[in-house]
Amino acid sequence: MWKRCLGWRLFFLGVVSLGPLAHAADEPARLSDFIRPLVGTQGEGNTYPGPSAPFGMVQLSPDTDKELWETASGYEYSDKSIIGFSLTHLSGTGIPDLGDFLFMPQIGKPKLVSGTKDKPAAGYRSRYSHDNEAASAGYYKVKLDRSDVTVELTAGERAGMMRMTFPKSDYASILTDLHHVLNGGKWKVVWSRVRVEDNSTITGFHLVNGWAKERPIYFAARYSRPFDRAEIYNDGKLVKYNTYRFRSSLEAAGAYMQFLVYYHTRQNEAITVKVAVSAVSAANALKNLDAEIPGWDFQQVRDATRDKWDRELAKLQIEGSKKEKETFYTALYHLMLAPNLYEDVTGEYRGLDQNIHLADGFTNYAVFSLWDTYRATHPLFTLIQPKRDADMINSMLAHYDQSVDHLLPVWSLQANETWCMVGYHAVPVIVDAYLKGVPGFDAARAYEAIRTTAMNPNYDSVATYAKLGWVPFDKENESVSKTLEYAYDDYCVAQMAKALGKADDYAYFMKRAASYKNLFDPSVGLMRGKDSHGNWRTPFKPHVYEEDSIGTRDFTEGTSWQYSWYVPQDVPGLISLMGGRDKFVARLDSLFTFQPPKESADTGETQGSIGEYWHGNEPAHHVIYLYSYAGQPWKAAERLREVVATQYGNKPNSLSGNDDCGQMSAWYIFTCLGFYPVCPGSGYYVIGAPQVKSATMQLANGKTFTMTAKNLSEKNLYVQSVQLNGRDLDQPFLLHDAVKNGGTLAFTMGPKPGEWGTKPVLPQ
């Protein structure tokens, strides 16, 4: 997903050990103890280390940066100082936002500015050491060098706790900075308010003009000890009655609000702050807080959240080394950090129309990074989170109902549409869930939303595409990617139309699904931009990322060389266009070996490069699996192993690209299992090569699906044979129907490519 140009940054640092697979003696007993929240916090992963409940509404986490675009989650492992601890964070996005309501303990005369990385002492920033830092499921801890205060964080669903253990001091304070947001040097707080409800309770609000254009959010905080004194600051000035015109010192509003409480502390005195947020009102933030955390038991909240993680992780367990388990369960953890619960304990939530709605009959979720997550995240949810997946779909349908443009979400972020990325990929999410029989949403209503979205007269030249057969580059940027992605989405619309008996719609959308053919230039064997008169983009530079300095390009975060593989709905058709399997494979081979010319190098999209294959960004995610369609699954096995070994792991720098709300992790999880949803909505998975010795999936219907990989080892990476429920499976395709009813998928692995899968025939 979108990042600014960063230059080359390669993270080939993690190597999967495929040593002894048995349980080691030093391994923890609980699955949640394998979670390493720090994974992905160094470099491009853009995850955050602080605690969150599965799909939780709050994510308490330290922020080390608020202005760098690249530090979108607020925390970069390489940074040496912490600004403070804010209540909300995005997981793995390429664009910063949230970071609402920063809390920071201080000793001595409190600072009101944050300071800089170079000079943390100029503000309230504090240096810290990773030696004094710990992060686990539902828990984060760090000692701040500046104040000698140890801060511990835990989080429930809508509320969290911060336990701050102070040294003895007559001048201890806790700052709440309402002006702090992860602004990426661009966003701003346009209004804010703070209110001292009583001597141990505050509420507040700010309206953020961020990536989400207009995002009002409220918080409530209760302090375990009444503060000795409280102060509100507006624009850095103490809010105080000047004896001329009265003003309250208990509440104030403005664009730049901060709040300070003071304490005399004893040595090692712990002061706990309970916090909650709401998108609806300060009153609801208080309700969320008091309903979720009525008491003051930090450990209880931490344990409850840890238990939740254990229950979620138990749905998909593997056999493997400690490192494998840490990598795998952390991927599962990251998978389940988004989308986020987005309704209060009252059931109220802020809709896309900025009105307050009641989530009636469903649980409302927000943060849909759909260009990323339609690929593998939501398909994985259909297996291990079907109820939540249905609720997410209901949330998307509510979004559609509230959309003045009559569109399903594209990249929606808390009552806002960011319009980030391209396509209408809510469609595959919904169609995939529908065709897999995920219960809990209304098919007719969903189809109406899907169809209306696909027929939108204004959005991104969809109407022109429907008429011409392609998006013309003289009318629309990123025209090739849009054409290709629309065609896939249209395939999905068609599949649902077919299932609903809508023959005309099926025919119409299947015709649109073939639009990819219009942009395949046989003279170059690649996808190529075409203008509204039918002329090819000339000159054609298949390895070039952008045409000019203003960002004109025919491809979305990629090149023609990369995007030409994007026909998930008709890989045989693509193979045919490319001249048959041999030519197809030869070209695919070269993707992994081609060294891009200098002009395409400096793009910021080259994380996880293997040749011009960039695993760090989503257009690559299905590409390795295309080998299986072409009868050469062993090549898939080699590349999958390479990516797993070099671009995932259990270290802060293990993720090669933005986790993108779980999509990078979902790719890893499916790949470990030995299959991947190249074409959600098709009803089948493509078999690659398993990366863990065994995996057991608990399905919502009570059935169990088990994968085993006999003889898997560092060398034995090639599939020799596959048995499904004890019967040979020769094809490298696995029907969802075979998975959903439970059963066993038994791989036998070996050190050399075998005959298995060399004569693929796509399921019909």
Question: Which segment (350-358, 370-378, 432-440, 446-454) binds a copy of itself by CB under 8 A?
Answer: 350-358
Judged by beta carbon, residue 65 or residue 344, the one nearer a copy of itself is 344
CA quadruple 154, 156, 157, 160: dihedral, nearest 10 = -60
Q: How far is the CB of 410 from a copy of itself (least distance, A)?
A: 7
Q: How far is the CB of 467 from a copy of itself (least distance, A)?
A: 17
Q: Which of 290, 405, 531, 547 is in the footprint of a copy of itself by CB under 8 A?
A: 405
Q: Which of 125, 195, 222, 375 is in the footprint of a copy of itself by CB under 8 A?
A: 195
Q: How far apart are CA 251 and CA 222, in angstroms?
A: 16
Question: Which segment (20-28, 361-369, 453-461, 621-629) binds a copy of itself by CB under 8 A?
Answer: 453-461
Tokens of 545: 């990322």
| 247 in contact with a copy of itself (CB under 8 A) | yes
Judged by beta carbon, residue 197 or residue 269, the one nearer a copy of itself is 197
Judged by beta carbon, residue 26 or residue 548, the one nearer a copy of itself is 548
Cβ-Cβ contacts under 8 Å for 511 (sequence gap 6 or more): none
| 475 in contact with a copy of itself (CB under 8 A) | yes
| Residue of 733, 640, 654, 741 whose CA lies nearest to 691 | 640
Q: Which of 10, 127, 291, 419 is in the footprint of a copy of itself by CB under 8 A?
A: 419
Question: Which segment (249-257, 322-330, 583-591, 749-757) binds a copy of itself by CB under 8 A?
Answer: 249-257
8 vs 1, 68, 616, 657, 688, CA distance in Å? 16, 17, 12, 12, 29
Q: Which of 15, 190, 507, 586 is in the footprint of a copy of itself by CB under 8 A?
A: 190
Cβ-Cβ contacts under 8 Å for 612 (sequence gap 6 or more): 543, 559, 561, 562, 591, 592, 594, 595, 596
Compute CA 671 distance to the chain's CA centroid, rounded to the nearest angstrom: 17
Q: How many CB atoms lie within 10 A of CB 184?
A: 20
> Please, are residues 612 and 545 in contact by the beta-carbon 8 Å criterion?
no
Q: Which of 88, 93, 461, 617 is in the footprint of a copy of itself by CB under 8 A?
A: 461
Q: Which of 13, 356, 699, 700 is in the footprint of a copy of itself by CB under 8 A?
A: 356
Which residue, chain included where needed, has tokens 């109820």? 387
Q: How far is the CB of 531 from a copy of itself (least distance, A)?
A: 13
Q: Which of 255, 499, 735, 738 is in the footprint of a copy of itself by CB under 8 A?
A: 255
Q: Which of 25, 29, 404, 444 is in the footprint of a copy of itself by CB under 8 A?
A: 404
| 186 in contact with a copy of itself (CB under 8 A) | no
Judged by beta carbon, residue 202 or residue 719, the one nearer a copy of itself is 202
Q: How far apart are CA 712 and CA 717, in angstroms?
A: 6
243 vs 240, 571, 722, CA distance in Å? 9, 77, 83
Judged by beta carbon, residue 208 or residue 435, the one nearer a copy of itself is 208
Q: Which of 197, 303, 642, 730 is in the footprint of a copy of itself by CB under 8 A?
A: 197
Angle subtended by helix axes 443-454 and 386-402, to nearest 10: 50
| 291 in contact with a copy of itself (CB under 8 A) | no
| 226 in contact with a copy of itself (CB under 8 A) | no
# of chain residues touching a copy of itself (CB under 8 A): 45
Q: Which of 27, 148, 228, 251 is in the footprint of a copy of itself by CB under 8 A?
A: 251
| 248 in contact with a copy of itself (CB under 8 A) | yes
- Enter the DSSP assignment of 156: -
| 477 in contact with a copy of itself (CB under 8 A) | yes
Site string for a copy of itself, 519-558 (x = CB under 8 A): --------------------------------x-------
| 759 in contact with a copy of itself (CB under 8 A) | no
Instruction: Looking at residues 641 to 660 of the shown chain, list those that interact with a copy of itself (rule: CB under 8 A).
Output: none
Q: How far apart are CA 256 and CA 234, in angstroms?
A: 6
Q: How far is the CB of 281 from a copy of itself (least distance, A)?
A: 5
**Residue 459 DSSP SS3:** helix
Q: Which of 249, 535, 593, 704 is in the footprint of a copy of itself by CB under 8 A?
A: 249
| 237 in contact with a copy of itself (CB under 8 A) | no
Residue 593 phi/psi, 5° resolution?
A: -120, -20
Judged by beta carbon, residue 45 or residue 184, the one nearer a copy of itself is 184
| 700 in contact with a copy of itself (CB under 8 A) | no
Question: Which segment (36-44, 84-92, 152-160, 353-361) binds a copy of itself by CB under 8 A?
Answer: 353-361
Q: How far apart are CA 758 and CA 631, in angstroms?
A: 4
Judged by beta carbon, residue 291 or residue 356, the one nearer a copy of itself is 356
Exposure pattern of 16-53 as b/e (b: 16+ CB <10 Å)? bebeebeeeeeeeeebbbbbbbbbbbbbbbbbbbbbbb
Cβ-Cβ contacts under 8 Å for 338 (sequence gap 6 or more): 55, 90, 91, 92, 367, 369, 373, 661, 662
Q: Which of 6, 21, 134, 207 is in the footprint of a copy of itself by CB under 8 A?
A: 207
Cβ-Cβ contacts under 8 Å for 552 (sequence gap 6 or more): 477, 546
Q: How far apart are CA 395 and CA 409, in angstroms?
A: 9
Q: Which of 8, 108, 171, 214 is in the footprint of a copy of itself by CB under 8 A?
A: 214
| Residue of 348, 438, 431, 332 whose CA lies nearest to 389 | 438
| 5 in contact with a copy of itself (CB under 8 A) | no
| 467 in contact with a copy of itself (CB under 8 A) | no
Q: Which of 170, 235, 297, 353 is in the footprint of a copy of itself by CB under 8 A?
A: 353
Planar angle of CA 388, 389, 391, nearest 5 degrees: 60
Angle subtended by helix axes 322-335 and 298-313, to nearest 10: 100
> Please, are residues 515 and 490 in contact by the beta-carbon 8 Å criterion?
yes
| 181 in contact with a copy of itself (CB under 8 A) | no
Site string for a copy of itself, 72-111 (x = CB under 8 A): ----------------------------------------
Q: How many CB atoms lie within 10 A of CB 385?
A: 22
Question: Which segment (237-245, 513-521, 679-687, 743-751) binds a copy of itself by CB under 8 A?
Answer: 237-245
Cβ-Cβ contacts under 8 Å for 534 (sequence gap 6 or more): none
- Enter the DSSP assignment of 631: T
- Kindly calculate the radius of gyration of the chain based on its CA atoms and give it in whole angstroms: 26
Q: How far apart are CA 651 and CA 665, in angstroms?
A: 14
| 206 in contact with a copy of itself (CB under 8 A) | no
| 191 in contact with a copy of itself (CB under 8 A) | yes
Residues of the shown chain interacting with a copy of itself in the complex, contacts defined by CB under 8 A? 190-191, 193, 195-197, 205, 207, 209, 213-214, 241, 243-251, 253-255, 281-283, 353-356, 404-405, 410, 417, 419-420, 458-461, 475-477, 551
